[in-house]
Amino acid sequence: MTTTETSVTLRIPNVVLWLLGIGCGAAGFGLGFLVKPVVEWILDAVGDAPGPLRLAAALPTVWAVPVLTLAGLLIGVWLASMAQKEALVLTVNAACVGLRQDGADRHIPRDAIGSVFLDGKELVFLDAQTKQLARHKASDLSKTAVRTTFERFGYPWAGMTDPHEQEFRRWTDGQPGLDEHANGLLRARARALTDKQAGAAADLADQLQAAGVVLRDRDDAQQYRQIR
């Protein structure tokens, strides 16, 4: 967390990133001593083992330990860099909120925000008409720090659950109460999610909101509520 007189920035703690790197290095160190008996056991059990493991097992222990330790450290550095990229960086001041995640930046003016809250692992912003301004995964941030930061700057903090929780419904194709246009968009978005087309899914969510439908994803299913 970075705090100045005029803003607060919350991000994934550096200790988590260090633990990823050190933990993977330690795992590689331990594997250096165990790789040979482990590969022998795999060969006895299933008759084959992955090529990299067989190669490591062929090394003398005096070489296997440093080689696998270095490999573990490199994997840890890569995992830490990916975790840092995917984690939300939240900057709050009296005028606006800054959101950075997956290489994308966004700012939301304070005057546009009608409520802000945590919905499970996600940080959600709504406007005064309950349209969704943003929804970001925020599981790497302290919930207490998120709450106190918004309260410090006088934002309309709405709590640790969605105030419209009871309005959400699980979508099924042909859902009663939705017109064919909305059902068609939800159908297309379901296909985009299955095909892991995040950009297309986000665009379809925007189109649905323009049609008066707010979305969230839960348990591999789309849930929706209608804006009244």
pLDDT of residue 113: 98
* Whether pLDDT at 1 is above 80: no
Domain chopping of the chain, boundaries = 14-86, 89-152, 165-226
Q: What is the pLDDT of residues 30-48, one digit of tens each?
A: 988 888 887 778 777 777 7
Q: What is the pLDDT of residues 49-59, one digit of tens each?
A: 777 777 887 88
| pLDDT, averaged across the chain | 91
More confident call, 47 vs 110: 110
Closest CA to 43 of 32, 27, 54: 54
Question: What residues form DSSP beta bridges with 137?
Answer: 122
pLDDT of residue 92: 97
* Whether pLDDT at 101 is above 70: yes
More confident call, 224 vs 44: 224
